[in-house]
Chains A and B, each alone.
Chain A
Amino acid sequence: DAKTTQPPSMDCAEGRAANLPCNHSTISGNEYVYWYRQIHSQGPQYIIHGLKNNETNEMASLIITEDRKSSTLILPHATLRDTAVYYCIVRFHSGGYQKVTFGTGTKLQVIP
């Protein structure tokens, strides 16, 4: 699986958009970008994923650059409950190969 690079920490003011970057410069053509978050001591929670088009769901938006070497997760109106560690991973979508590894993530602190 391709490696990802994320800033170790970020702050965001409550009510503002949180933009979390991820670099995945060695991503291959059939690898998807996934985002998860982990709120203190709970299991990681799936947020969103995409291949090359921008994606949006009720939780967040995912912007993937045209060359697919980086992406940004956007939380449009951050709340205190969004304080968590956010993980960006890349993952093959291939029938049998499903190994999923996590990096160190970005610790997002939403400030009142």
Chain B
Amino acid sequence: DAGVIQSPRHEVTEMGQEVTLRCKPISGHDYLFWYRQTMMRGLELLIYFNNNVPIDDSGMPEDRFSAKMPNASFSTLKIQPSEPRDSAVYFCASARVNSPLHFGNGTRLTVT
């Protein structure tokens, strides 16, 4: 298996622009997680899905952030409009129930 695939690896955008991060989970995994990592706040859970349904989005910072999972093999995290404080590494992870999380290599987002 290719593992969890995230794209793009790096994204540089200007403040106010829309940003879309993409994730392809491992086939057969029914849980998908989005995390954000910064030096100040560490690794934060933003949202997680079970069978394509959002279960807990209490970590989503504000209405500018939204996440979707239209099918079992694809998820997006969208920021609109983006702000410099959104600069971070965003990780996607997938898992089977009660099994370890498998992380992608992340998307490094820089908002200028």
CA distance A43 to B31 in the complex (A): 17
Q: How large is the interface on A (under 10, 10 to 19, 20 to 34, 35 or more residues)?
A: 20 to 34
B42→A43 contact, CB < 8 A: no
Q: Is A29 an interface residue (CB 8 A)?
A: no
**Set A34, A43, A93, A98: member contacting B91, Cβ < 8 A:** A43
The number of A-B residue pairs with CB atoms under 8 Å apart is 54
Inside 8 A of B42's CB, which chain A residues have their CB?
102-105
Additional A-B contact list (4), CB under 8 Å, known A87-B43, A98-B55, A102-B43: A41-B89, A44-B93, A49-B100, A98-B95
Given contacts A46-B100, A46-B101, A93-B98, contact A100 B45 (CB under 8 A): yes
Quick check: which of B12-20, B62-70, B79-87, B102-110 contacts chain A, the rest being far away? Answer: B102-110
| Complex A-B: 14 CB contacts under 8 Å | A42-B106, A43-B91, A43-B93, A43-B106, A44-B91, A46-B100, A46-B101, A49-B100, A95-B98, A96-B55, A100-B101, A102-B35, A102-B45, A103-B42
Distance of A3 from chain B, by nearest CB (Å): 13
Contact bitstring B24-45, A, C-beta under 8 A = 1, else 0: 0000000101010000001101
**Set A41, A98, A105: member contacting B50, Cβ < 8 A:** A98
Given contacts A96-B50, A101-B45, A102-B42, contact A41 B100 (CB under 8 A): no
